[in-house]
Amino acid sequence: MQLTNDIRFTNLRGDLFGGITAAIVSLPLALAFGVASGAGPTAGLYGAVLVGLFAALFGGTPTLISEPTGPMTVIMTAVITGMVAGNPENGLAMAFTVVMIAGLFQIILGVLRLGKYITLMPYSVISGFMSGIGVILIILQIAPFLGQPSPPGGVVGTLQSLPELLRNIDPTETTLAVITIAILFLMPKRLKRYVPPPLVALVLVTLISVFFFANADIRRIGEIPVGLPQLYLPTFTPAQITTMLVDGMVLGMLGCIDTLLTAVISDSLTRTEHKSNKELIGQGIGNIMSGLFGGLPGAGATMGTVLNIQTGARSALSGLTRALLLLLVVLGAARLIQGIPLAVLAGIALMVGVNILDWSFLKRAHKVSRQTTLIMYGVLLLTVFVDLIVAVGVGVFIANILTIDRLSELQAQNVKAISDADDAIQLSDRERELLDHANGRVLLFYLSGPMIFGVSKAIARQHAAIGNYAAAVIDLRDVPMLDVTVSLAIENAIEDAVEAGCHVFVVNPDPTMQQQLERLGTFELIPRDHLMADRTAALQRAVTLVGDKDDPVTEVQMPVTLTSEPEAGR
């Protein structure tokens, strides 16, 4: 596997313009997320630089732009709040250690080649928790939008403090925030093609605050340290190590989901295919470096990635260009950033929260099914008011149970038992003749399709009648997969039939399935020559054994023993 990402110089103009455009978009968002998280604007900038740089170097999606995102910022805000509250002196360092743990977790997932399984969850769950994160980000911006510090307690604390926030509204800062929102949402589309609305709002509203509200007491970003970032070595306490590990895994998992969903969008635009495991390793390295130098965690960013591709980028050179440009801004233009009002950044972050909401699915979910709607809104509410990991866990569990129940109902229709020639099972002329000769004394028990554990009830219902017949043929030829639970249900059916004096034959030409049933000891209940490779031969043997006094059947010589290798031509 190639160690570095796809860095080429054959599309130099497109990659450079893509990187410049992505840097312009990233700057206001990085500042907004840094302030919103509580770690400060510098943390947002260094997160954008470091995650973007190392993910571009070592990732597996050439055109992906990685930086602090809304979902990652929401989780990081909760981590910082919890760590600082529990340990005021080292809380911030512990929060950055959580970022490193998240990066390490992502690397482990990539090394174990689990990337393709990360986004393997129902869309109703993904939509619910992404919309929930959007709601959280919006609620957390209410206080700074109204010109006041964020109250303690996160979402619940903000909602409880809402009456007080409205009573103490700061007219000047709220005006600046409203102007910011107006620019973001009302800017003409033809202008958006040339310059991103967040940058326009950042520059224009900052100038308005300087020239028209020069004497007003406006909260601004303030001094930004110039030079290399402070080093944060891993810091933890025994009492909080478990909490930090859980927070790190949650942050890492969210980053994986956010990144790989964006990588899929990148694939659709560039007609390429990303390397999910390699991408997770690159993201992990980026987050470790970001946490080490006091930066926010990051992931693949949809808006930056789409603009990067639309501007002409086709290789990871664009991501490297973007990261280096932002680094130059941090090191050389920090003074120009100091006067930006916090209300402007609150407006930008609020806009991001609104865009995270899955409006398309929110409007159509009720048209799909009531179950889908309940799962989505349930996950949304759990995300906002309880916990992200709980929301995803509960949502995936319920969605999977409903899916399994539906699949079990469908598969139960493929569990059929007949004792005479009818249309329930497709039979050859010879098989119809044999069943007619048996006069209802032989049962053909037929299974088809993948047999998952939910089908065991249907098998149990059918096998209760096997003991009423003189012989039974259990046909497993059309079963590509046999769940252990179903295997045991078949074993119970065979055991009950043998105890009732019923001759049981098993038709199963698949060597893998035969080995599975043999390991369970299922075939120890019947004679070895009752394992058949052909259903017609099994029916012939069964009819011969039970006999028919009115129309005796002469046994036809056919292969009866199932070998470990499939017959030629099958």
Domain boundaries of the chain, sorted by first residue: 12-357, 413-546
Helix (H) or strand (E) holding 466: none
Q: Encode pLDDT of 488-510 as tens digits.
A: 888 888 888 888 888 899 998 67
Are 113 and 142 spatial neighbours (Cβ–Cβ below 8 Å)? Answer: no
Model pLDDT, residue 423: 60
Helices (H), 317-358: 317-332, 334-337, 342-356
Q: Encode pLDDT of 319-375 as tens digits.
A: 999 999 999 888 877 777 888 899 999 999 999 889 888 888 888 887 878 888 899
* Count of Cβ atoms closer than 10 Å to residue 306 Cβ: 18
Amino acid symbol at 82:
G
Helices (H), 358-483: 359-368, 370-385, 388-412, 429-438, 456-463
Helix (H) or strand (E) holding 568: none
Are 466 and 447 spatial neighbours (Cβ–Cβ below 8 Å)? Answer: no
CATH 3.30.750.24 fits 413-546, yes or no: yes
pLDDT tens digits in sequence order for the chain, 570 residues long: 566 777 888 888 888 988 998 998 888 999 999 999 989 999 999 999 999 999 999 999 999 999 999 889 999 999 999 999 888 989 999 999 999 999 999 999 999 999 888 877 888 888 898 899 889 999 999 999 999 988 888 888 999 999 999 999 999 999 999 999 999 999 998 888 778 888 899 999 999 999 888 888 899 888 777 777 889 999 888 888 999 999 999 999 999 998 998 898 888 888 888 899 999 999 999 999 999 999 999 999 988 898 889 888 889 999 999 999 999 888 877 777 888 899 999 999 999 889 888 888 888 887 878 888 899 999 999 989 988 778 888 988 898 888 888 877 877 777 777 777 666 677 888 888 888 888 888 888 888 888 877 777 777 777 667 778 889 898 888 888 888 888 888 888 888 888 888 889 999 867 777 787 888 888 888 888 888 888 889 999 888 888 754 444 444 333 333 333 334 333
Distance from C-alpha of 221 to C-alpha of 342, rounded to nearest angstrom: 6
Model pLDDT, residue 150: 86
Model pLDDT, residue 450: 82
Distance from C-alpha of 187 to C-alpha of 195, rounded to nearest angstrom: 10
Model pLDDT, residue 108: 96
Could you write out the DSSP letters of every residue in 138-205?
Answer: HHHTHHHHTTSPPPSSHHHHHHHTHHHHHHT--HHHHHHHHHHHHHHHHS-HHHHTTS-HHHHHHHHH
Q: Is 109 left (phi over 0), alpha (psi -120 to 50) or beta?
A: alpha
Distance from C-alpha of 112 to C-alpha of 446, rounded to nearest angstrom: 40
Helices (H), 413-525: 429-438, 456-463, 484-499, 511-520
Which residue bears the tokens 């109250």? Answer: 151
Max Cα separation, the chain? 112
Query: What is the chain's percent helix, strand, coil content, to nearest 5?
Result: 65, 5, 30
Helix (H) or strand (E) holding 220: none
Model pLDDT, residue 13: 86
Model pLDDT, residue 1: 52
Of 48, 541, 68, the C-alpha closest to 259 is: 68
Model pLDDT, residue 550: 47
